[in-house]
Structures are given as structure tokens and as C-alpha cells.
Structure 1
Amino acid sequence: MPIFTAGDGTRLAYHVRGEGEPLVVLPGGPMRASAYLGGLGGLDAHRRLVLLDLRGTGESAVPADPATYRCDRLVDDVEALRVHLGLDRTDLLAHSAGGSLAVLYAARHPERVGRLALITATPWALGMPATAGHRLTAARLRRDEPWFPAAFPAYEAWLAGSGDFDDVFLPFFYGRWDDTARAHAAGEEEQVNEEACDLYGSTGAYDPPATRAALARLTAPVLVLAGELDGGPAPDLARRAADAFPAAELAVQPGAGHYPWLDDPEWFAGRVGEFLTRPAQRPPRPAVRTPS
């Protein structure tokens, strides 16, 4: 297991899967160990995945200062990993809450990003949170599922703040509530650093106007991928987030929830792999004027 040292001396770990050009992968949660990402549905057949365990998660050390769990301060860890890997520019993939970290990295270091893939990423860093309304609209799409009658009232109460989180509504986060999804969901509790989770988006983490302005300098291609059945972000919110980037495309995976590589691995790996391996487009040549 490779180790590198962050600027404040915290020892950070990452895990490597697959062969080929490196793709730095930032997990969500927030602050969930990267193990839940696996091989991203076979994406490791296209690229060498460099799965970062954020500080205080997985195999990475707990920092001396808990304030460094804040999303904007984690940008320095991503940059330290790029330097450690010896990359002039890095391709980035981020899932869920990790998307805000990737966006802040791209805003601060636009010249260091080759390509950026945001997978079901709630765009907190852009000042665009997923609302209860988004989530309930997506949840109602599942009304024909056998678990829906028991799950929906508990989900609605939780989103309204009148009920606690309940495992009964976990199916809303997956496009297919099968044995694979159940096993994946069961691993979350031991993979998330709850203290770090609470601090990730704490006061000062995000400055959406400044981030939007900085992203104007980003020339890297961006893929924003949403799940058709996901409420956080719903496809419409993902579409609006894509508009914040100079060169972004939106993909909506049919029948997918918040973990699209589990719902249809072949579709996911094919679509994301195509984006990551597509030849870079050269800027158009200026027109040549001929004397009249």
C-alpha cells in the first residue's frame, strides 16, 4: 500500500487498481474510505485507478488538527498526491461529496487538471445543494418497488428533520436493490469517519462565487454523470452544475442511482472510459484571410 506525506506531515495512503495511465479517484461519503469504490465497475480495465484514502479514513492517518478535514483544506492533499505521482497534469474522477473537493482543486489548480469526471456529485462547492424536493421527486419514481411503502414515509420524515436516518430507505440510493447493493450499503458504517464527515462542509469550506469565477480558467474537458433515479444530484441539478464549466458534457445513466457503477457496470465503465480515453480536441485554427 503506497504512502505519501501531506504538507502538514500527515501520512496518507492510496490504493492502485488496474493498468495504464493513472486516474486519481476521490471518494465521497463525505469522508468515506475509498474501499467502497472497488474497481468502479470495471473502469480499472481502462485506466490505473489511484484511489485516495482521505486523511482520517481507510489506511490514512488521523491528522493532528481536525480542522484539516474541511473540504477546501483537503485540496492541498490532492495536490501533494499529484506531486508524489510525478504528474504534470492529472486526470481526476470524484464521486458524490468528493465532487466538491475535485471542483475546488480544479478552481485552485486549473492548469494541473487533464480531465475531470464528476460522478453523481452534489455540487455544494458551486452553491447548488440537492434539496429535499429533488430527493422526494426521485424517490417517487420508485413507487412500484416492493419496498417503497415502508421506505417512503421514513425517508420523507428524515428529509423533513422529523425522523432519524433509517436503513429501511437505503434502497433509494441504489438503482437496483439486490444482494450486491445490500452488501455495499452494509460496509458504509465502518468506512466513514463521522467526526470528519461533520467537518467536511463546515463554515468556510465553500465560496461559490469565487469558485465559479476561478473555473472560467479551466480548459480541461469535464464529464458530469448523473443517475436517472438519483435525487442527490437529480439529473436537472447535474445539468445546471455542468453549466459552470467552460467545457462540460452531461451524461445520465439509465436506471442508475447514486452508485452507478453497481447498477450497470458495463454502461458506466464504457461511458466514463470513453470520456477518459477520447483524443483531446485541438482548439480550432484561426481563419486565414486572403487578400481581396
Structure 2
Amino acid sequence: MHSTFTTPDGLKLAYDIHGTGKPVLCLAGLTRNMDDFDPIVAGFSDRAMIIRLDSRGRGASDYDPSPQNYTIPQEAADAIALLDHLGIDRTAIIGTSRGGLIAMVLAATAKHRLSGVLLNDIGPELDPAGLGHIMEYLGRPCAYKSYQDAADKLPKAMGAQFQNVSRAQWMTYAQRLWHEGPDGLQLRYDPKLRDAVQAQSALAESPDLWPLFHALNDLPLAALRGANSNLLTPECWRKMRNLRPDMISAEVPDRGHVPFLDEPESQNVIKRFMAYIT
């Protein structure tokens, strides 16, 4: 059962906490929610306080009546508001995709609040092919009629990036991403996220994100890359590792954007990261 807190601009955002010890805040991707971090709760709540947040407009959190507020800086401010609500001075962050971008922004703007960062299939360069793929489905109604239908069809739809995935894993994937309704599967996020992303993309050229990556200097850092990722390129991955040779890292075979976090490679990196942070 999740809890809620109220942001300074009046939205109720959902979060939950499992375990005790050093805090680890889990931030999900653009259209995702706290359920993506079930493997973190299952594997690591015996050694850390696992905090999971549904960003505004996602999961069980309120939708923003002003979609222009669906921005990374605003979502970073929401993460700080949650820490303040909980009375937590510093936390590590496990950030998947957009959640990792939020973590990098926080490293640049509120580094004193961070004890380390783990980036899940995200870096300071975003492959246009991957961004284009995201826009193909962002805010669009789900085409699957049921979880069973999704589990049957997802291997064909996503199999180029995600191989050796069992039907049970596809079922879990579907249950994390969609609600099952009388008319088929429903989005678990505000479809107006699409309007927000399109509006922001039209305003300016893509910013240089490398300064945000450099802001992670002097923080414990870990990273995962799906070996078949269409968002985090091999070239960007190599540059990240060259710039931070101390970065705990692994490529996850048979996974694209993003690894599920239950893979042995993912679990090993998370374990090492947990031991590294203070």
C-alpha cells in the first residue's frame, strides 16, 4: 500500500518505503512507475531503505492539470520535496531512463542531497532512433485487450531488443505498465505527457547533457546498459566508462531499453553499488 505527500503546488504524489538503513530513492522512466523496482525491493530491502516514487502524472500519483509541468526540473524538485517530507538529508538514487536524467539534474543542482547514483540505461547522449521509438507509443492507447493478450504479443513486438524473456516475465511487464479494464489495457500515466514532450522538443535544440554527467564527479556511480539498447549507444557508453573508470558497470545481455533489474548482471551491479554508498 502506497503513501502520499503533497507537493508545494498541491499535487498528491504516491510513494512507498520498504526496509531500513541507508536511503535509496528509485525514480522510474518517462511512462513508468514504482512497480518497475519490485526486484530492488525483493532483493535489497534487507540492507537499505528502498523508497519508490511515482512521478507526477504516473502510477498512483495525481495528474498535473497543467501538462507543461511534466519536466525533468519539476520532477527533480518533486524528488527533493519527498526527501524533505521524509526528513532525509541525503539519499542514493537508482534512476531508470528519465529517472537517471533527474538524478543527473539533482547532481548539478542539489549534490549535497545525494550519496550516489545508479543510472539504468541512460546517459548524457540520447540516440534519436530511441527517442523516435518512444514517440511512436507515448500517449497512445494500448492495443492489447488483456494481460494475456499482451504476454502473447509482446515477444513479437519487442523481441528484437528483448530476447530470452519468459511468458511469465512478459506478463509481469504488462502488469507493471498497464491497468486491465473492460475495454482492454489502459495507460498508467497521463497521456498528456505526449503533449508536454512535444512542446518541450519544439522549444529548442537538444541540450548538451555532458555537464550533468560531469556533475556526478566525486559521487559513487554505477550504470547499467541493455546490450540491445536503442537509446544509450555503445559510443556514449564507452565514453561514460572512460570518463569514470571507477564506475561500477555492466552490460545486460538480451535486454534493450531498459533492463528489468532482475537479471544477474543488474543484481550484481546493484549489490556492489549498495556496498559502495554511505
Range of TM-score over shorter length: 0.7 to 0.9
Are 2:238 and 1:250 equivalent residues in the alignment?
Answer: no
Contact 1:173 1:230 in 2 (8 A): yes
**C-alpha distance in 2, partners of 1:236/1:197?**
28
Letter in 2 for 1:3: T
Provide the residue aligned with 1:33 in structure 2. Answer: 33
**C-alpha distance in 2, partners of 1:7/1:246?**
39
Contact 2:22 2:91 in 1 (8 A): no
Provide the residue aligned with 1:275 in structure 2. Answer: 273
Q: 1:90 Cα shift?
A: 1.2
Provide the residue aligned with 1:199 in structure 2. Answer: 196
**C-alpha distance in 1, partners of 2:168/2:195?**
28
Equivalence map 1:118-267=2 (5 Å):
118-121=119-122, 123=123, 126=124, 128-132=125-129, 167=154, 168-187=156-175, 188-189=177-178, 190-200=187-197, 202-203=200-201, 208-209=207-208, 212=211, 215-216=214-215, 218-242=217-241, 248-261=247-260, 264=263, 266-267=264-265
**C-alpha distance in 1, partners of 2:206/2:246?**
21
Provide the residue aligned with 1:284 in structure 2. Answer: none
Question: How big is the alpha-carbon RMSD for the aligned residues of Structure 1 and Structure 2?
Answer: 3.3
Shift in alpha-carbon separation, 1:205–1:182, aligned structure 2, 3 A: farther
**C-alpha distance in 1, partners of 2:64/2:277?**
40
Contact 1:92 1:116 in 2 (8 A): yes
Q: Deviations along 1:86-127, whole A, 9 cap, x unmatched?
A: 222110000122221221121111221110000112x3xx3x
Q: 1:218 Cα shift?
A: 4.2
5+ residue gaps, structure 1: 136-154, 160-164, 281-292
Shift in alpha-carbon separation, 1:59–1:42, aligned structure 2, 3 A: same
**C-alpha distance in 2, partners of 1:35/1:21?**
21
5+ residue gaps, structure 2: 138-142, 144-152, 179-186
Q: Say how many residue pairs are matched.
A: 247
**C-alpha distance in 1, partners of 2:25/2:226?**
22
Letter in 1 for 2:12: R
SS at match of 1:172: coil
**C-alpha distance in 2, partners of 1:220/1:206?**
29
SS at match of 2:57: coil
SS at match of 2:60: coil
Q: 1:259 Cα shift?
A: 4.1
SS at match of 1:23: strand
**C-alpha distance in 2, partners of 1:16/1:233?**
30
Q: Deviations along 1:1-32, whole A, 9 cap, x unmatched?
A: 2221212121111022344322100001x132
Contact 2:222 2:248 in 1 (8 A): yes
**C-alpha distance in 1, partners of 2:57/2:121?**
23
Shift in alpha-carbon separation, 1:43–1:129, aligned structure 2, 3 A: same
**C-alpha distance in 2, partners of 1:21/1:213?**
24
Q: 1:173 Cα shift?
A: 4.0
**C-alpha distance in 1, partners of 2:243/2:206?**
14
**C-alpha distance in 1, partners of 2:5/2:230?**
36
SS at match of 2:159: helix
SS at match of 1:107: helix
Provide the residue aligned with 1:73 in structure 2. Answer: 74
Contact 1:69 1:196 in 2 (8 A): yes
Letter in 1 for 2:265: W
Shift in alpha-carbon separation, 1:211–1:48, aligned structure 2, 3 A: same
**C-alpha distance in 2, partners of 1:176/1:35?**
21
Q: 1:183 Cα shift?
A: 1.0
Provide the residue aligned with 1:110 in structure 2. Answer: 111
Identity %: 24
Letter in 2 for 1:171: G
- Structure 2 length as normaliser, TM-score? 0.74
SS at match of 1:14: strand
Q: Deviations along 1:109-156, whole A, 9 cap, x unmatched?
A: 1221110000112x3xx3x11243x89xxxxxxxxxxxxxxxxxxx9x
SS at match of 1:129: coil
**C-alpha distance in 2, partners of 1:170/1:247?**
33
Shift in alpha-carbon separation, 1:228–1:207, aligned structure 2, 3 A: closer
Contact 1:224 1:242 in 2 (8 A): no
Q: 1:46 Cα shift?
A: 3.8
Q: Rg bigger for which structure?
A: 1
